[in-house]
């Protein structure tokens, strides 16, 4: 694998983490998924590397889903983005199973996901995860900093998180407000 690229906000749910393979540094947009090495890194960071290979078909399909998710974040009613997501979801299905229980019990419910082509796996997983996140659509958000492209799933108790991180964008916003108050006080 090539050089590992440090990126912010790793560890979000898979769909949000896929969106966060794009980030801004010094005003320049960075993109992890410009190579198979970047795909390998993303698969490893999301724990999907044991299930899926990093190949050109998987990267192409993942980029299509990321594009659809970006459009849905900007416009949740975008019919083209919805169609692209549904097209991806059509390549996999969930097979429910009754798994062996512990202690001779009647078993436990389980499932496995199957694909018509395994290279759809990463994209399908991200699309499926997005559907799960939409159970709380008001918590699927982009950072409130207009210069930031990062997204997150708000897990805060009161659901009022605004920033990708308080240490980054949150502190910059607080500092800007503080400086603006200081300028207003000096000009009064």
* 6-19: pLDDT as tens digits: 998 899 999 999 99
Confidence of residue 1 (pLDDT cuts 50, 70, 90): low
* 24-42: pLDDT as tens digits: 999 999 999 999 999 999 9
- Within 13 Å of residue 112, how many CA atoms lie on the same side as its CB? 6
Q: Print burial letters for 140-169: b (CB count within 10 Å at least 16), e (below 16).
A: bbbbebeebbbbbbeeeeeeebbbbbeebb
pLDDT score at 102: 75
* 49-68: pLDDT as tens digits: 999 999 999 999 999 999 99
Predicted TM-score (pTM) of the model is 0.85
Give the C-alpha separation, 44 to 143, whole Å. 25
Nearest to 151 by CA among 79, 97, 73: 73
Give the C-alpha separation, 100 to 4, whole Å. 40
Confidence of residue 183 (pLDDT cuts 50, 70, 90): low
Nearest to 25 by CA among 5, 44, 43, 54: 5
pLDDT score at 36: 97
Mean pLDDT score, 142-164 = 93
| Cα 45–Cα 50–Cα 51 angle in degrees, nearest 5 | 110
Confidence of residue 4 (pLDDT cuts 50, 70, 90): confident
């Amino acid at each position: 694998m090539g050089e590992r690229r440090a990126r912010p906000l790793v560890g979000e749910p898979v769909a949000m983490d896929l969106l966060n393979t794009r980030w801004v540094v010094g005003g320049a947009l960075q993109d992890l998924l410009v190579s198979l090495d970047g795909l390998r890194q993303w698969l490893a960071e999301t724990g999907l590397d044991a299930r899926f290979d990093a190949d050109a078909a998987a990267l192409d399909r993942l980029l299509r889903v990321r594009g659809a998710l970006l459009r849905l974040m900007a416009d949740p009613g975008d019919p083209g983005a919805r169609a692209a997501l549904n097209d991806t979801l059509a390549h996999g299905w969930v097979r429910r199973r009754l798994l062996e229980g512990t202690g001779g019990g009647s078993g436990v419910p389980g499932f496995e996901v199957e694909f018509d082509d395994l290279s759809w796996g990463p994209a399908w997983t991200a699309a499926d995860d997005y559907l799960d996140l939409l159970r709380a659509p008001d918590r699927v958000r982009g950072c409130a900093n207009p210069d930031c492209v990062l997204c997150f799933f708000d897990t805060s108790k009161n659901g009022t998180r605004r920033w990708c991180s308080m240490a980054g964008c949150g502190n910059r916003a607080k500092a800007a407000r503080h400086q603006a108050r200081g300028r207003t006080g000096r000009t009064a």
